[in-house]
Amino acid sequence: MASLEVLYNAECPICRREIDHYQSLSGDDVEYIKLTPDIATVWGLTEDQAAQQLHARRGGNLIVGVDAFVAIWQRLPYFRVLALIVKFKPIKAISSVVYRLILAPLLFAAHKKRRARSK
């Protein structure tokens, strides 16, 4: 069983490309799970909540946003150094703000537009 589960929005081309790259480097200790309404519910989230940011679970504990990225990076060759850098408090604070207030909302807005066009 994987020690880290990652819930991601496979409908987002940027998210999918990034997760595909991580998956190519990951061992069996990371499981990547595509977001569906049912899966979101199992994780205790709505589909929109799950699509707004990257989510992961380790030992039943939910990890969100930059912390989820760090949890993935710690398990990947070439990314472990990045995980150490981003865990440094000032960098983590800035990264979290940029992700939560700029990047994640932009990706979520694009996701909503794609969904509206497909209906």
Give the model's pLDDT for residue 108: 95
Give the model's pLDDT for residue 119: 76
**Helix, strand or coil for residue 35?**
coil
Q: Which residues fall within 8 angstroms of residue 16, CB to CB, at 6 or more apart?
A: 8, 9, 10
Give the model's pLDDT for residue 43: 98
Neighbours of 40 (CB within 10 A): 18
From first to last of the 119 residues of the chain, give the pLDDT tens digit: 689 999 999 999 999 999 999 999 998 899 999 999 999 999 999 999 999 999 999 999 999 999 999 999 999 999 999 999 999 999 999 999 999 999 999 999 999 999 899 87
Give the model's pLDDT for residue 118: 85
